Structure 1
Amino acid sequence: MKITLFYHSILSDWNHGNAHFLRGVVRELEERGHQVKVYEPENGWSLQNLIEGYGKEKLDELKEYYPNISTNFYSPESINLNEVLYDADLVLVHEWNEHDLVKRIGEHRANGGKYKLVFHDTHHRAVTERESMAKYDLRHYDGVLAFGQKIRDLYLEEGWTQKAWTWHEAADTAVFFPHDKKEPEGDLIWIGNWGDEERTAELHEFLINPVKELGLKAKIYGVRYPEHARKALAEAGIAYGGWLPNYKAAEEFAKYKVTVHVPRRPYVEALPGIPTIRPFEALACGIPLISSPWDDAEHLFTPGKDFLVARNGEEMKQHLQTIINNPEKAKEVAAHGLATIQSRHTCAHRVNELEKVCEELGIAKSKIYLTQKEKSLHEA
């Protein structure tokens, strides 16, 4: 297939957690012989923050992990959709695009576009910013890929689309995999952004306070930490590492004994079954994970085996002590979580699901499932 993807950014993961999954999907599609073109807006906020804060050399480092990564920058005012989409079989438009572009692509599809057009939603805004999401004009789209059943159902119930599929995020196991563990640099690592005060109390209860009370050696990576947050980390004796390139997470996980997952409140309260990308990342890297409560309504994992669940701060302390002081238990939990990722939750699994969606949309099987000879010709 010839596939065109409109993303906010594939180059930058600064405050852009979706980059992991989007990069992995592109890699998997290309490995199967599909021709993939990515478009992202010039001067996008994520890439601009990355370059301003860390320099363009970080883009060279990215290519060490994703050697074939490439993108096409466009200006909303000058993009020529006839040129961009003239031979596409499938077009995916991510929800971080501007309303006007989403509408214009839909109109292009209605005015003779031969491709199948799908909207891709990977955020909680359909619940938390419903008015803004309702303004996306999806009349001419063939359907929506939603990263959880609750979001999928909402699109259908609100009449925003006539067809929708659940398409969870997953781990790019070409980059997220267990690294050899040497002498640990510390006890606990946490990778995550502070998050618009959506989980401030939870971060104190399940992360900062337990580390402080147990006297653990810990390090936290992420962006958008306000002064009060950095002060709380310092008072708890937690090192703050700032932004960590997403592709380096596996290397950092290997230096610590345990990590935790603290989902944002919108996911816990309004979006059961959606864990975000973070647990997929940790489990794929083979580090024991302890999570604060969330409802695995779609049975993605086996809570208690793939990861431990702490219902409150006291249970978090108990679980942390168990994992840190009992290497066999730590190995057991990590191995179970890793096996679940490898068997069900890789980007290859998600591309398999995408191919089934393409079949349902009526794209010819000969385009979806390339022969080995066709793949070889593409690689050549």
Structure 2
Amino acid sequence: MKFAFFGSSLVSAYWNGAATYYRGIIRAMHERGHQIAFYEPDAYDRQKNRDIEDPDWARIYVYQPTEEEVFKALDDALHADIIIKTSGVGVFDELLEKEVLKLKLKGKHVIFWDVDAPATLDRVNYSEGDYFKALIPQYDLILTYGGGNPVVSAYKELGARACYPIYNALDPSTHHPVPKEARFEADLAFLGNRLPDREKRVEEFFLNVAAQMPGCHFILGGNGWHDKPMSSNINYIGHVFTKDHNALNCSPKAVLNISRDSMVKYGFSPATRVFEAAGAGACIITDYWVGIDTFFEPEKEILVANNGDEVAQILSSLTEEKAKVIGQAALKKVLAKHTYTHRAIELDGILQQEFSTTKEAI
């Protein structure tokens, strides 16, 4: 099958947390014989901050952020059998979400792939007159980055003909154990961009914990935190390129996952970095969200905290030996059940089920 993806960026993770997800699933689809073209705008300095070259497993089409260039990209995408508009492209999202639907008239299957379903659903349900609400029933299929039954039910209530979560996963070829690096050694590290619906949770689960544990060393990575007040035992390292993620996950005693408010609300939304860290054999401490045990067994494969005080308690009693055991258990689980190869097989099954007329070609 030939696929056309319209997304934020495949070649740059700069202010683009979905990059790892896109890369993992698209590479796995390519390995299963599919042909993929990825359409991304030259926006937000992402092309200036590429962290991979054009891959051999996808054709990259970079377009300028103008209406004329958007329509040229849509014309180019007509070579595909299935055209996918992802959420959060960042420029001309409304235009793209309306125009891709017109390609159904030319015999194409059109999918909306929501990489931030909790935020999309909150916007549609609580913003009066949101344009996307009327478009949902027109898509052949809705796929989501996560959310489980709450998200599936919410989309179906809005008229989606079918909705399936395709969860984050691990690409073992890019995220795996590596030797520790002194620059990333710490008791606890957190990597995440500064976003409005996560900032308060970062304050509670990370910044406040660091302030009450002056004898421990913390690392904070991600964009936007440069002017945030923080204690002197936090080393703020800014944007961390993908090539350094393995070392950042392997070097600290533990790494912290902090979910955004909307993802906690809907549950079943493991962040990409959870699987990255597990693939590196890291000991993960995560804030609580419904559905954690769908992916990892708490206390054996992942450590769970309900608040900042519990993060501090876990960290104060966590030995290097225990951290290593938990990290190895997480690595074993993710390799066995949560790679992008697993997700691509699942996706093929969904497409066969939903698009029976193209079953022979899938």
Same fold (TM over 0.5): yes
How is 1:1-380 mapped onto 2 (pairs within 5 angstroms)?
A: 1-41=1-41, 43-45=42-44, 48=45, 50=46, 56=48, 58-59=49-50, 61-63=51-53, 70-74=59-63, 75-78=66-69, 79-80=71-72, 83-97=75-89, 98-109=93-104, 111-113=105-107, 115-123=108-116, 124-130=118-124, 131=127, 132=130, 134-135=132-133, 137-146=135-144, 147-149=146-148, 150-159=150-159, 161-181=160-180, 185-196=185-196, 198-214=197-213, 215-225=215-225, 227=227, 229=228, 231-232=229-230, 235-268=231-264, 270-296=265-291, 299-323=294-318, 326-360=319-353, 361-362=355-356, 364-368=358-362
- Any conservation in 2 of the 1:99–1:135 contact (CA below 8 Å)? no
Question: Structure 1 CA distance, aligned partners of 2:236 and 2:80?
Answer: 45
Counterpart code for 1:273: F
Question: Structure 1 CA distance, aligned partners of 2:241 and 2:134?
Answer: 31
Runs of 4+ in 1 over 6 A off after TM superposition: none
- Any conservation in 2 of the 1:76–1:101 contact (CA below 8 Å)? no
Report the alpha carbon displacement of residue 366 of structure 1 after superposing the two structures with TM.
4.2
Counterpart code for 1:340: K
Question: Structure 1 CA distance, aligned partners of 2:143 and 2:252?
Answer: 35
Report the alpha carbon displacement of residue 187 of structure 1 after superposing the two structures with TM.
2.2
Change in Cα spacing, 1:172 to 1:293, as seen in structure 2 (3 Å) is: same
- Any conservation in 1 of the 2:169–2:275 contact (CA below 8 Å)? yes
Question: Structure 2 CA distance, aligned partners of 1:283 and 1:225?
Answer: 25
Unaligned runs of 5+ in 1: 369-380
3-state DSSP class of the match of 2:328?
helix
Change in Cα spacing, 1:157 to 1:250, as seen in structure 2 (3 Å) is: same
- Any conservation in 2 of the 1:222–1:241 contact (CA below 8 Å)? yes
- Any conservation in 2 of the 1:273–1:298 contact (CA below 8 Å)? no
Report the alpha carbon displacement of residue 211 of structure 1 after superposing the two structures with TM.
2.4
Change in Cα spacing, 1:236 to 1:72, as seen in structure 2 (3 Å) is: same
Question: Structure 2 CA distance, aligned partners of 1:365 and 1:247?
Answer: 38
| Worse-superposed segment, 74-83 or 204-213 | 74-83
Give TM-score scaled by structure 2 length: 0.87
3-state DSSP class of the match of 2:233?
coil
Question: Structure 2 CA distance, aligned partners of 1:36 and 1:288?
Answer: 35
Question: Structure 2 CA distance, aligned partners of 1:82 and 1:238?
Answer: 46
User: What is the root-mean-square deviation of aligned Cα atoms in Å?
Assistant: 2.4
Question: Structure 2 CA distance, aligned partners of 1:139 and 1:261?
Answer: 34
Question: Structure 1 CA distance, aligned partners of 2:131 and 2:169?
Answer: 24
3-state DSSP class of the match of 1:162?
coil
Report the alpha carbon displacement of residue 20 of structure 1 after superposing the two structures with TM.
0.6
Change in Cα spacing, 1:76 to 1:346, as seen in structure 2 (3 Å) is: farther
Change in Cα spacing, 1:69 to 1:236, as seen in structure 2 (3 Å) is: farther
Question: Structure 2 CA distance, aligned partners of 1:141 and 1:251?
Answer: 41
CA displacement 1:78-113 (0-9 Å, x = unmatched)? 42467423332222210124112111111121x232
3-state DSSP class of the match of 1:333?
helix
Question: Structure 2 CA distance, aligned partners of 1:138 and 1:266?
Answer: 20
Report the alpha carbon displacement of residue 180 of structure 1 after superposing the two structures with TM.
2.5
- Any conservation in 2 of the 1:103–1:138 contact (CA below 8 Å)? no
- Any conservation in 2 of the 1:106–1:138 contact (CA below 8 Å)? no
Taking only the aligned residue pairs, the percentage that are identical comes to 26
Counterpart code for 2:102: E
3-state DSSP class of the match of 1:357?
helix
Question: Structure 2 CA distance, aligned partners of 1:187 and 1:282?
Answer: 15
Report the alpha carbon displacement of residue 69 of structure 1 after superposing the two structures with TM.
5.7
- Any conservation in 1 of the 2:39–2:73 contact (CA below 8 Å)? no
Question: Structure 2 CA distance, aligned partners of 1:328 and 1:363?
Answer: 54
Question: Structure 2 CA distance, aligned partners of 1:182 and 1:278?
Answer: 19
Report the alpha carbon displacement of residue 173 of structure 1 after superposing the two structures with TM.
2.1
Report the alpha carbon displacement of residue 321 of structure 1 after superposing the two structures with TM.
2.4
Q: How many residues are matched?
A: 346
Change in Cα spacing, 1:82 to 1:306, as seen in structure 2 (3 Å) is: closer
- Any conservation in 2 of the 1:126–1:151 contact (CA below 8 Å)? no
Question: Structure 2 CA distance, aligned partners of 1:237 and 1:125?
Answer: 33
Counterpart code for 1:29: M
Report the alpha carbon displacement of residue 186 of structure 1 after superposing the two structures with TM.
2.5
Report the alpha carbon displacement of residue 12 of structure 1 after superposing the two structures with TM.
1.9
Unaligned runs of 5+ in 2: none
- Any conservation in 1 of the 2:226–2:238 contact (CA below 8 Å)? no
Give TM-score scaled by structure 1 length: 0.83
